Amino acid sequence: MTIASSRGRKGRKPSSCLSPKPRKRRDSCRPKKHCHNNKHRQKGRSLFIEQLYSNVHTTDTLTPLPTQVTTHLTVYSYAVINEGDAPAVVQVQVGPDGQHFAKDVEETIPPGETGVIVVSRFLRFTRLAVRSKIEDRPTALTVYFQAQALR
Per-residue pLDDT of the chain (151 residues; tens, 9 = 90+): 444 544 555 555 555 555 555 555 555 454 444 444 444 445 567 899 999 999 999 999 999 999 999 999 999 999 999 999 999 999 999 999 999 999 999 999 999 999 999 999 999 999 999 999 999 999 999 999 999 998 7
Query: What are the distances in angstroms from CA 58 to CA 27, 131, 141, 142?
Result: 65, 5, 8, 11
- In the chain, domain spans: 46-150
DSSP string for the chain = --HHHHT-GGGPPPGGGSPPPPPPP-GGGSPPSS---HHHHHHT-EEEEEEEEEEEEP-SS-EEPPPEE-TT-SEEEEEEEE-SSS-EEEEEEEESSSS--EEEEEEEE-TT-EEEEE--S--SEEEEEEEESSTT---EEEEEEEEEEE-
pLDDT at 73: 92
pTM score, two decimals?
0.69
CATH architecture of 46-150: Sandwich (2.60)
